[in-house]
Amino acid sequence: MTWIVRVFAAVTVLTVYYSCLVSFLQTILPPVSQSPISKDSSDLAATTTALPEYDLLWRVHSTPEAASAAGRWVHRPHQALQYSTAHLQCLDQERQGNCHDPDAWKYSNDKAKQSRHRAILKQAVANSPGILNASDPWVWESDYGPYQVLPYDAAIYKERVRKLLHNRTIYLIGDSVTRQWAQVLRCELMHILDYSQEEAERTIQRLADFCGEALPQVPTFLQNAQPHDYLVMNYGHHCGRGVKGPEWSTNYTKLLSHLQDLRYGHLPDSHIFVRTTEPRHFLRGAGDWNTNSSQAGGSQPNMHAKWSLYGGNSPEQPMQNKLLLRILASEKRRRPFQILDTAPLMLARADASFDGTHFCLPGPHQLWSQMLYYRIEQQEL
């Protein structure tokens, strides 16, 4: 009898050991099988070189005051985009954006607007004066290529951006913060660059995805993408501790690895940007969106803000972004994607927070657009 027990125990141990080994290998090795959305093995040749700016990005994310390491927010009202009434009305259609009208919550039953209003009454969200009156006078500048933005110079900006966007579609994949950005881009196209609404909607297209749930839809979303188009993806807020629990990084690692197995229409890898995730501007240890008390925001940009100041109950930065850089930008990467590193500059902009996680519009999202324009112009013209 005992030998049966022993053999059974040995088989069980070996089975568990084997399945652990297999799942471990699956996390570190590129998949062998061809799923329908995988590329052919011939064009999946592994990249063995790091992104040229990898060391810079890594250093910035490893610096506590990362905004200062990447560049600076400077007070230049004349270099900030000017918003017409129609432009503001366009931005106000985004449910988590209107901070300049203190009565915005009265006009709708939108939970997001109600919750901002309650947070304001409790003095749980602070904003800078320019954010509250829709004329943010702060613009971003940097000496480093990856952090530079196309400056807003009223005399030439419109033609310059129209030229670099000509005949292109910008595809965006991500969560509600990406949804906000998509609206910022469309409104700029209509109200600064004179696109029709139809042209703006055709030029800026977005697929909602939180933490990879919509990956099977990516090939359909990108089926008309042409080689000159661009894609910017972001995964972060819904892949952190608050949503996925303490083991979030295992899940996130797999997701980022899997992004390198997908087919992205006819887009070349150099036109695929992965965007880093801005910190959640809830003060660390002072509650979160789902607690009765929280603290978020600020009264002006804070160039000395540290990663450790923020994150509320889900303090994954800078670790989550560093994981992203290791997997997609270091010599370990398998595809030569680009990184759009919007996180460090946002570290300094708690003052622009709508509710701790989203941003007031108009606000610093505009500088993400100008950072993308700069990168497209560098590649194309």
Which residues contribute to the site for ligand NAG (CB under 6 A)? 129-130, 133, 135, 167, 212, 226, 244, 251, 254-255, 291-292
DSSP strands (E only) in the chain = 72-75, 125-126, 138-141, 170-174, 204-208, 230-233, 272-275, 296-297, 338-340
By beta-carbon proximity to ligand NAG, the closer residue of 43 and 247 is 247
Shortest separation between residue 214's beta carbon and ligand NAG, angstroms: 12
Strands 170-174 and 230-233: parallel
For ligand NAG, which is the closer residue by CB, 219 or 265?
A: 265
Query: Minimum CB separation from ligand NAG for residue 62, in Å?
Result: 26
Cα–Cα distances in Å, from 197 out to 79, 185, 203, 375? 26, 12, 10, 25
Contacts of 154 (CB under 8 A, 6+ apart): 82
Closer Cβ to ligand NAG, 104 or 255, answer by number: 255
Q: How far is the CB of 119 from ligand NAG (least distance, A)?
A: 14
Closest to ligand NAG by CB, 153 or 213: 213
Q: Token pair for residue 107?
A: 């006009």
Residue 70 or 360 with smaller CB distance to ligand NAG: 360
Cα–Cα distance measured from residue 144 to residue 273, given in angstroms and rounded to the nearest whole number: 18
Cis check: omega of the bond before 362, within 30 degrees of 0: yes
* Distance of closest approach, residue 243 Cβ to ligand NAG, in angstroms: 8
User: Minimal distance in Å, beta carbon 181 to ligand NAG?
Assistant: 23
Q: Which is nearer to ligand NAG, 249 or 330 (CB)?
A: 249
Give the C-alpha distances (Å, rounded to integers) separating 26 from 32, 33, 258, 367: 9, 11, 11, 39
Nearer to ligand NAG, 62 or 82 (CB): 82
The secondary element (H helix, E strand) that includes residue 365 is: helix 365-380
Minimum distance of ligand NAG from residue 249's CB (angstroms)? 11
User: Residues 277, 341: contact at Cβ < 8 Å?
Assistant: no
- End-to-end Cα spacing for the chain: 79
CB of 137 to ligand NAG, least distance (A): 7
Q: What is the DSSP secondary-structure string of 152-206?
A: --TTTHHHHHHHHHTT--EEEEESHHHHHHHHHHHHHHHHTS---HHHHHHHEEE
> In 81-92, which positions are buried (b, 16+ CB within 10 angstroms) versus exposed (e)?
bebeeebbebbb
Q: How far is the CB of 10 from ligand NAG (least distance, A)?
A: 30
Residue with tokens 């609206």: 183
Nearer to ligand NAG, 244 or 263 (CB): 244
